[in-house]
Structure 1
Amino acid sequence: MSQIGASKVALSSISSQALWQQTNRLEGYGPELFRFADRKEVPYLLAPTHEEEITTLVSKTIKSYKNLPLRLYQIGRKYRDEIRPRHGVLRSREFLMKDLYTFDYSVQSALSTYEQVRAAYSRLFDELKLPYLVAEASSGDIGGDLSHEYHLPTSIGEDNVINCDSCDYVANEELAATRLNPSEDTPPAEYGDVLTAGVWRGVSKDRSTLINVWYPASYSDDDINSYAIKSVLPELDSSLIDSTPFWSSTSSKTRQPLRLVNIVDYRLGSPFTIALETNPNPKFLLPEGADLDLSIITSDYITTSTNGDPLNLLRIRDGDDCPRCESGKLKVRKAIELGHTFHLGTRYSEPLEAHVQVPKNLIEGDGSTAKSGSMTTVPMQMGCHGIGVSRIIGAVADHLADSKGLNWPRAIAPFEVVVIPGRGLDKESVIVSEYLANSQASRPLDLLLDDRSESLPWKMRDADLIGYPVVVILGKGWSTDRLCEVQCRRLSSVSHVVLEDLPMYINQLLTQL
C-alpha cells in the first residue's frame, strides 16, 4: 500500500443504517448484516465493508481535483452474519481485512489507479510464492462494472474458478462463459413428454414470482447455474433450497398478483418454447399441489441473455470449449478467494455527494491548461480493493501444512529461522543467533532462539508444528566439527554448514520460500 502512495486510516466498526439507506444497500446486502439499535433506538450495524463511511469522510474534506488521486486503506475487523461459518478462519462472522479505497477525478485516472493496485496485489501474492489465479469477476453487491478476484486453488475451496488450458482466460463461476454449439443439440419436439426436459423451480425475493428453469432431462437440478439465472432475472432468491412452498403460501394468503417466468436453456431449442407457450399445461408448469388457474397468472418466457446470446443455464464442466480461443478447453477448479479489486465508478460518490471541481478540459481528456470559468463539478471516480488477511492465514495453513505441522512462506512466517540448541550448548546457540542477526554477509535474518529447557527432540517436533521456514540445530555436528544442521522441510533439504557460511546459505533457502 505504501508503494502506491496509500495512507492508512481507521474507520469505525459501527455504521449508521441511515447511511446505508442512502446508497440503497441496507436491504440489498441481505441478512448478512448485523443490525442493532442504541438506547435512543437509532439503528446501527456492524460494518461488513466501509464504502459508505470512507466516501462520506472524503466528501466532507476533498473539494478540488488538485487533492486527487487519493488512496486510503485500513486493516481492521469486519462483521458478517454468515449462514454457514466454517473452515476456521476461512469463513467466520468476524474477520480481519485490508481494504483500500481510491478516489480520482476522471475515469481514465481511476482505471490507471486500478491497474496500479492490481500490480501491487500481484507483487504481494508473488512474494507469498503461492499458485494463485487472477479471475475476471462479477462486482455483486459492492457495485461497479470491473473487478478481479485473487484465488488460491485448493480442494477445500468453496468457490469455483474456471480457466483455459490454452489461453489466459480465467473467470469465476459468476462470470465464466463457454463457447456454445447449438447445432450439436437435438431439440425435443414438444414439452408434453416429461422425458424431454427437466425443470428447476425457484421464487423471487418478494415471493410473487414462480421461476421455472427448463433444461435437458439428461442433466439434473445440481447442474443448474443460479448465476446464469440471476443474470437474466436478478430478483431470484437463490438462498432457498426448497422455494416453491413460499410461492404457494403467497398465492393462498395474499391478493398480490402472481407471475410465472419460464426460462429455457438453449439446448431445448425453439420448438420446446413454442410448445410451452401455445399449449400451457398446469401439470408441468406449476408445482405439485398448486391448485391455480393459469389464466389469472401473468406468464413470461426468457430464451436469450440480456445481450441476445443463446441462454446457457447449466454449470460449466471440465472440457467445455473456451469462449476466448478456438482450441482451448476449460478446467473447473475449487479455490479460496484471497483478494478482490473493484472499479466502482460513481456508485457511492453520487448518492453521497462526493463531488470535486475539475477543469472541463481534464474531463474531456485534452490535458491543456484550463481557462478561467471553465470548471465543472463531477462525482469522484472510486475503487475499492480488499485482501482477506485472516483468510490468507487459513488458506496458507491448509495449503502448505503436512503431517508434521504448519509450513509458512517466508513473507508471513512468525520468524524466518529458529535456532535450537542441544543439551549443554545454550551459550553456543546465543553466539550463533547473534552472528546470524548481525551478519553483514547478507541481509539480517528474523530469527528466534529456542532456549527452553525441553529436550532437543521435543523442540524439533514443536518447530515442525509451528512451521518455521528454516530450522538450525546445534547438536553432535557442532560439538565435533563446528557444523550447524540446517533443515528446510518444505524443500526437503537437510545440510551441515559451517558458521561463516550459514547466513548466506539460509538466505538462499529463504529466496525459494
Structure 2
Amino acid sequence: MESKAHSGVFHLLPLGLRVQNKLEALIDTHMQAIGASKTSLSSITTEALWRQSGRYSSNSELLRIKDRRDSGFLLSPTHEEEITALVASMVHSYKDLPLRLYQTGRKYRDERRPRGGLLRAKEFMMKDLYTFDSDSAAALETYEAVRAAYTAIFDALKVPYLVADADSGNMGGKLSHEYHFVSPKGEDTIWCCDSCNYVANEELATKRATNVDEEEDDSYPLVFRGISTDRSTEILIYVPASRSLSSEETPGWESISSYVNLHAVKRALPNDLHLDTGIEASTLSHLLSSATAPTQTISILDPSLSIAPDSSPPPSDPNPTPELTLTSPHPLTPLHPSDPCPICPKGSLDPKKSIEIAHSFHLATRYTHPLNACLSLPPASASPRAPRTPLQMTCHGIGLTRLIAALAALLHDAHGLNWPRALAPWEAVVLPSAGVAAADAEAVYDELAGGGVDVVLDDRPGKALGWKMRDAEGIGYGVVVVMGRGWAGGGREVEVQCRRLGVRRGVGVEGLGGEVGALLERL
C-alpha cells in the first residue's frame, strides 16, 4: 500500500492511492452536503503570517524552506493562517457569509520521532474545513452541522469510534472534540464512563469531587510551589495528601505528576496565567528564591479539601502571603481507573489507549482578530459608525493517511488487511483458476459489475490460484469470488469468501450478485 522513502516519509502505491481516493470521495460527499466548497491551498506559507497569529516558534515542528533570498517560507503543517488571510482579502460584508471552505492536501511537520508508519510522519494528507460566520450563534450552529457530517462519515466506515471532549491546545478556542479509534497501538489516552456517554481526552478528563475524608488523609494538604511561564507569579497548588504518605514526607516538584493533574491546574488558573510545567526542580527552586523572585502569588485549592490552607506561606517560603486564593471547580489530583464519573452518579472512569483520527475546533476570533478578517455588521444591529467585527471561525480536520493507517492496524489479521467496504481498493475480486476460460471469468466479472459492485478481475498470467488467493488476502478485498473446482467441474458454481465475516460458501452464478451484495452491506 505504501513504501518508506525516508524516515517519516512515504510513497503511496497504486492500491493505497485507490484507498485514499475513496476516502476523499466519501468526505467530498458529506462536505458538499453541508454547503462546503473545495479549494486547494499552497503547501508553502510564511513566517510572517505565523508571527502575526502568534503561533511562530523557532523551536517548533515547523519545516522551514531555505531559499536564495532567505524569504522565511515554511511548509504548512496546517492552514489556519493562510485561509484566514485569504478570507480577509475577500470577505467584507455579512452578505458574503456563511462561508465554508475545505481542502484535501499535504501537510508537513518536523517530527522528532517519526513512528507507526503513516500514523506519525513528517508528510501527511489531511482534509481541513474552515468555516466563517458573522456571529457566535451562527458559528456554533455551523460547528454542530459539521459534527453531524463527521458522524455520517465515520458511520459509513462501520468501525466503532468514540467522540471525546478535548483540549484546544495551541489551536486556540474553548470548544473542541476529538474522534478516536480505541487501539492498544494508540498514543493517546481517553477516559470513558462505564455507565453514561462521558468521554474526554486526558487533557480535559476530570472526575467527580468527593469529600477528602472519604478517601484521603485530611490532616494536612500537600503543597507544591510552581511558577508562571513569565516568571511573574508563584503558584501554590494544594491537593489532599495520599494515605500512603506520612506527615513528615513532602514530595518535591520533580514528583508533582504523581500527585497533581497538571491539566486540571492549568484550567483552574486565570486565562492570562500559565503554569510552567516543563521546568526542572533545581531551576524552579533558584527562581523562587532569587533576587528576581515572583512579585505575586496565587493559590489553587483542590475542591475536595475540607479545610482551607493556612493563610501563611509554606514553611521556609520567603515569598509574601498569597494575593489570590481560588478553589478549582475540578479535582486537581490525577485520574485513576474506577474514579467516579463527573457526570453521572453511578459510573466510574476507565482509560483507553486510542488513535486520534479527526479533530474539530470552535476557534471564535482566535485567528480572524490578529489577521484582521473583519466584516461590517447589518445596519439593524449596529450604528453606521460601528467598528468592523472579526469573523467567527471554526475548523475541522480529518487525517486521511492517519485514518487509513489506523484502519489497517485495527482490522488486519494474520492473513492480511481487511478494509471497510467504503475504502477497499475494490469491493470484490474474481479469481479464476488456470483451467477457467477467459470468457467465463469475464462473464462472472460482468455479472457483479452490472449489479453495481466495484469489482476487479485478477487475470494475471503465470500466477497459480493459490498465489492469487494469498495476494487477495493480503490486499484486503471485502469479498473474494473463487472460480475453482466448483466451476472447472462443470457445476458453474463459485466459492464466495469473506474473511472478515467468516463466510465461505458455494454460490451459483444466478445468485452471485445478491450474495455478494448482502455481504458488502455488512462491511
State the TM-score bracket (shorter-chain normalisation): 0.7 to 0.9
1:369-448 alignment to 2 at 5 Å? 377-425=388-436, 427=438, 428-437=440-449, 439=450, 442-448=451-457
- Alignment CA distance shift 1:202-1:78 (3 Å): farther
Q: Distance in 1 between matches of 2:454 and 2:73?
A: 47
TM-fit CA distance, 1:167:
2.5
TM-score (norm. length: structure 2): 0.82
Q: What is the aligned partner in structure 2 of residue 244 from structure 1? A: 281
Determine the C-alpha separation between the residues in 2 that align with 1:418 and 1:223: 56
Alignment partner of 2:477 out of 448, 462, 468:
468
Structure 1 match to 2:241: 216
Distance in 2 between the 1:336 and 1:201 partners? 34
Counterpart of 2:293, as a letter, is P
User: Which residue number corresponds to residue 314 of structure 1?
Assistant: 333
Flag the 1:157–1:111 CA change in 2: closer, same or farther, 3 A.
same
C-alpha distance after superposition, 1:385-426 (max 9, x if no partner): 000111111111111111111111011111111111112225
Structure 1: tracts of 5 or more residues without a match: 192-196, 283-293, 365-371
Distance verdict in 2 for CA 1:123–1:186, change over 3 Å: closer
What is the distance in 2 between the residues matched to 1:298 and 1:11?
Answer: 54
Q: Shift of residue 105 of structure 1?
A: 1.4
Pair 1:323–1:189, CA change in 2 (3 A):
closer
1:505 to 499, 502, 515: 515
Seen in structure 2, the aligned counterparts of structure 1 residues 202 and 422 have a Cα distance that, compared at 3 Å, is farther
Structure 1 pair 279–231 and aligned structure 2 pair: CA distance change class (3 A):
closer
Please state how far the C-alpha of 1:477 moved relative to its aligned partner: 0.7
- Give the equivalent residue in structure 2 for 1:281: 315
Query: Residue 412 of structure 1 aligns to a residue in which SS?
Result: coil
1:6 maps to a residue whose letter is A
CA-to-partner distance for each residue in 1:47-89, whole Å, 9 max, x for gaps? 2211110011011112222221111111112122334332221
Match 1:20 to one of 22, 25, 50: 50
The yes-or-no answer on 1:55 pairing with 2:67 is: no
CA RMSD of aligned residues (A): 3.0
Q: Measured at CA, do residues 207 and 476 of structure 1 come closer, stay the same or move farther in structure 2, by a change above 3 Å?
A: farther
Whole-angstrom CA distance in 1 between matches of 2:421 and 2:458: 17
Post-superposition CA distance 1:121-174 (Å, at most 9, x none): 000000001111111222221112222111111122222222223322222222
Which residue pairs with 2:262 in the alignment?
226
Shift in CA distance, 80/209, structure 1 to aligned 2, threshold 3 Å: farther
* 3-state SS in 2 of match to 1:168: coil
Deviation track 1:251-298 (CA, whole Å, cap 9, x = no partner) reads 79x864357877554556536x32xx547334xxxxxxxxxxx42689
Q: Residue 131 in 1 paired to residue 157 in 2? A: no
Relative to structure 1, the CA distance from residue 321 to residue 102 in structure 2 (aligned partners, 3 Å threshold; closer, same or farther) is same
1:313 to partner: Cα distance: 2.2
With over 3 angstroms needed to count, the CA separation of the structure-2 counterparts of 1:508 and 1:237, relative to structure 1, is: farther
CA distance in structure 1 between the partners assigned to 2:394 and 2:291 by the alignment: 44
Unaligned regions of 5+ residues in structure 2, if any?
Answer: 1-30, 245-254
1:445 deviates by 2.4
Secondary structure of the corresponding residue to residue 163 of structure 1? strand
Judging changes above 3 Å, is the alpha-carbon distance between structure 1 residues 511 and 297 closer, same or farther for their aligned structure 2 residues? Answer: same
CA shift, 1:205, in A, is 4.2
Q: Distance in 2 between matches of 1:83 and 1:105?
A: 39
Residues 453 and 517 of structure 2 are in contact (CA less than 8 Å); yes or no, is this contact kept in structure 1? no
Q: 1:448 to 1:350 in 2, by over 3 A?
A: farther
| Contact 1:73 1:99 (C-alpha < 8 Å) held by counterparts | yes
Counterpart Cα distance in 2 of 1:236 and 1:90: 30
Cα distance in 2 for partners of 1:109, 1:262 equals 38
Aligned to 2:24: none
Q: What is residue 359 of structure 1 aligned with on the other side?
A: 378
Separation in structure 1 between the aligned mates of residue 320 and residue 124 of structure 2, nearest angstrom: 46
Give the drift of 1:449.
2.5
| Cα distance, 1:279–1:325 mapped onto 2, change above 3 Å | closer
| Cα distance in structure 2, aligned partners of 1:75 and 1:350 | 26
Q: How does 1:293-312 map to 2 (within 5 A)?
A: 294-295=317-318, 304-305=327-328, 309=329, 311-312=330-331
- Aligned-partner SS, 1:49: coil
> How far apart are the structure 2 equivalents of 1:21 and 1:315?
35
8 Å CA contact 1:265–1:303 kept in 2: the answer is no
Which residue does the alignment assign to 1:455?
Answer: 464
Q: Tell me the TM-score normalized by structure 1.
A: 0.83
Residue 257 in structure 1 maps to residue 286 in structure 2? no
8 Å contact from structure 1 (residues 136, 172) kept in 2: yes
CA distance in 2, matches of 1:326, 1:301: 32
Instruction: Confirm or deny that 1:39 pairs with 2:51.
Output: no
Percent identical among aligned pairs is 47
Give the Cα–Cα distance (whole angstroms) in 2 for the partners of residues 448 and 206 of structure 1. 65
- Conserved 8 A contact 2:313-2:321: no
Q: Helix, strand or coil for the counterpart of 2:190? A: strand
- Give the AA of the match of 2:164: A
Conserved 8 A contact 1:203-1:244: no
Q: Is the 2:234–2:288 Cα contact (8 Å) retained in structure 1?
A: no
The question of whether the paired residues in 2 share the 8 Å contact of 1:102 and 1:382 is answered with yes
1:5: Cα distance to partner? 1.7
CA drift of 1:453 comes to 2.0
CA gap of 1:17–1:145, structure 2 versus 1, over 3 A, is same
Question: Structure 1 pair 303/145, CA: closer, same or farther in 2 (3 Å)?
Answer: closer
Q: Is the 8 A contact 2:216 2:241 kept in 1?
A: no
Q: Does the C-alpha gap of structure 1 residues 128 and 190 become closer, same or farther in structure 2, counting only changes over 3 Å?
A: closer
The SS at the match of 2:171 is: coil
Q: Secondary structure at the residue paired with 1:335?
A: strand
Q: Determine which of 355, 358, 361 is the counterpart of 1:336.
A: 355
